[in-house]
Amino acid sequence: MSKTITIAPVTRIEGHAKITIRMNDDGSVADARFHVNEFRGFEKFCEGRLMWEMGGITSRICGICPTSHLITSAKAGDAILAVGIPETAELLRRLITLAQWIQSHALSFFHLSSPDFLLGFDSDPAARNVFGLIGRDKEFARRGIRLRKFGQEIIEVLGSRKIHTPWAVPGGVREPFEEAKRDQLLAWIPEAKETTLFALSKLKEIHGAFDREIPNFGNFRSLFVGLVAKDGALEYYDGTLRVTDSAGNILADRIDPADYHEHFGEAVEPWSYLKFPYYKPLEYPKGMYRVGPLARVNICDYISTPLAEEERKIFKVLGAEEGVVNNSFYYHYARLIELLFAVEKLEQLLQDPRVLGKKVRSRAMINREHGVGASEAPRGTLFHEYWVNQDGVLQKVDLLIATAQNNLAMNRTVRQMAIQYLDGVSITEGLLNRIEAGIRCYDPCLSCSTHALGRMPLHVQVVDSMNRVLNERVR
C-alpha cells in the first residue's frame, strides 16, 4: 500500500514550507517534493504604485535580505531614469550589499545550520538551537552573534535602520558617508576577519565528522548561474551573467542581466506557489540550475581578495574530478568563503577615500518606460524588472528571486535525501532533520516570494493511497 509522509513546516528556514514523500508499496521512495504553501503576490499589488516607492515596498518582502531588494530596486530605477550614478554612490551601495552578505551568511551558518553540525542531526530538537550551541561551544555562539551584529551595524550606520532602510534610491543614495562612521566600522574588521577564519576552521572539522553523510547531501549535476565581474572575478553588485554546466564549462557568458528573460524561463507546478525557473536552451526541467554561494564560487575565475582566493583554491580541489563542486552540502563552505571575501572587500572599500565623497545622487525624470536591476543577494541572483508609464506609475512588475531559482535543485535534494535515509517504516527525528538540513544548505528565503498565512507545528503523517492516516507525529 503506498504511503505519503508530510513534513510541515520545515524548520530553521526563512518562511514556511512542507515536504511530502510518497512511498511505493514496496517501501521505496516514489517521489519527494518541497512545497511552498504561502502566497504573497507582491508583483501584482505593486502595479499602480510609483516607481520611486519600489525600494520601500520591495524591501518589505523580506526581513533578512531587505537590503538586496532595496539595492536591486534602485538599480532598476537607475535604468528607468537612464542615469549613471555617482562613483561614491556605487561604492556605498557596494558597501551595504557586502553588509547584507555578512549578516545573512552569519545567520545562516551560525544560527540556523550550526546546531546540526555541532550537536548532530540526531540530537534533541528542543536543544538544537542557539542555547544548545552555547552549551557545546559558547565562544563559537558568541562570535557568530557578534559577526551578524557587525553586518547589521553597517546597514544601520549607512541607512539609519537595521532593516527596511529607505537609503538607496534611483540615481544613487540619499546621504553621503561620514568619516567618523567609517572609522567606527573599520574598528570591527579585525574581529570579523578572525571570526570568519575561526568559522572556516570549524567547518573543516565538521566536514571530517560528517564524511559518511556528505556524499548524499544534494550531490547531483546541474548548471550554475551567477554574476561575474568583467574580468571573471566573484561579483556581488554588478557584472554580467555566466552559465556553466556541471563540469564547469561555460555555456553562456557576458549576458546582460537586462536580457535575463531571453535565457531563463519560469515553469509552474500545481502543488507549489514557488515557480520553477530553468535555463531555456535546455528546457524544463533539464535546465535546472543552482544560484547562490555554491554557484558563485564555482563559476568565478578568481576572488579579488587574498584570503578568500586562497580558500577558493582549496575549495576547488573538492570538485577536481568533476570540474566543479556539485555537492550542495558545500554551500556552507562556499558561504563562509564569501563571508571572508565580504569582510576583506569591506575593509578595502572603507579604506578607499572615495567612499567619503559628497556627490551621491544623480537626479532625472522618467526617461525610459522599462528597467531591469540585478544584484547578487546572499542566496543568489536577484532581478527586479519594472514597466512604467511616463509618470513613473508601475504598469507591470516581475521579480525573479534567488530561492525560486534553486527550487528544482531543492526538490532534487529532498528526493535524494529521502531515498538515502528513509526506510519507509520508522520516522525518526534524525531522519526528518536530515531531510530539512538538505533544504537548509540553500538557505531558502521563502518570505521573498510568498506571504505567511500562519505558523503550523511540525506535523508528519504517513497516509495510504486512500489518504487514511497510518502513522503521525507532531512536534
Partner 1 sequence: MIPPLVVGYGNTLRGDDAAGVIAAELVRERLPGVDVVVVHDIQPELAEALTRRPLVIFLDAAEGTEELVCTTIDTSAPVPPVQSHLFSPSQILALCSSLYGSIPPKVYLVGIPARDFSYAQEISALTAVAIEESVDVVGKLIEEHNRG
Rounded Cα distance, 233 and 473, in Å: 48
Count of residues that interact with partner 1, criterion CB under 8 A: 26
Contact indicator for 218, 409 with CB cutoff of 8 Å = yes
Report phi then psi at 175, rounded to 5: -135, 145
Pick the closer one to partner 1 by CB: 124 or 231: 124
Rounded Cα distance, 410 and 328, in Å: 9
Contacts of partner 1 in 6-25 (CB under 8 A): 11-12
Rounded Cα distance, 85 and 97, in Å: 16
Give the full edge-to-edge strand order of the sheet including 3-8. 29-35, 18-23, 3-8, 459-463, 469-474
Question: What's the CA dihedral at 450, 452, 453, 459 to 10 degrees?
Answer: 110
Per rule CB under 8 A, is residue 49 in the interface with partner 1? no
Q: Give the shortest CB-110-to-partner 1 separation in angstroms.
A: 9
Per rule CB under 8 A, is residue 60 in the interface with partner 1? yes
Distances (CA, A) of 31 to 190, 300, 353: 48, 34, 56
Contacts of partner 1 in 91-150 (CB under 8 A): 107, 111-112, 125-127, 129-131, 134-135, 138, 141-142, 145-146, 148-149
Q: Quote the cell numbers at residue 408.
A: 528544482
117: left (phi over 0), alpha (psi -120 to 50) or beta: alpha
Rounded Cα distance, 247 and 314, in Å: 17
**Per-residue interface string for the shown chain with partner 1, residues 163-202, x marking contact by CB under 8 A:** xx--------------------------------------
Q: Give the shortest CB-312-to-partner 1 separation in angstroms.
A: 28
Pick the closer one to partner 1 by CB: 130 or 233: 130
Report phi then psi at 461, rounded to 5: -125, 140
Q: Which of 130, 105, 133 shows the shortest CA–CA distance to 118?
A: 133
Pick the closer one to partner 1 by CB: 112 or 336: 112
Pick the closer one to partner 1 by CB: 132 or 287: 132
What is the separation of C-alpha 221 from the centre of its chain, rounded to a whole number of angstroms? 19
Per rule CB under 8 A, is residue 304 in the interface with partner 1? no
Q: Give the shortest CB-63-to-partner 1 separation in angstroms.
A: 6
Contacts of partner 1 in 62-101 (CB under 8 A): 63
Pick the closer one to partner 1 by CB: 101 or 237: 101
Q: Which of 114, 152, 246, 406 binds partner 1 (CB under 8 A)?
A: 152
Q: Give the shortest CB-134-to-partner 1 separation in angstroms.
A: 5
Pick the closer one to partner 1 by CB: 126 or 320: 126
Q: Give the shortest CB-115-to-partner 1 separation in angstroms.
A: 10
Q: Give the shortest CB-349-to-partner 1 separation in angstroms.
A: 23
Provide the binding-site residues for partner 1, judged by CB under 8 A.
Answer: 11-12, 60, 63, 107, 111-112, 125-127, 129-131, 134-135, 138, 141-142, 145-146, 148-149, 152, 162-164
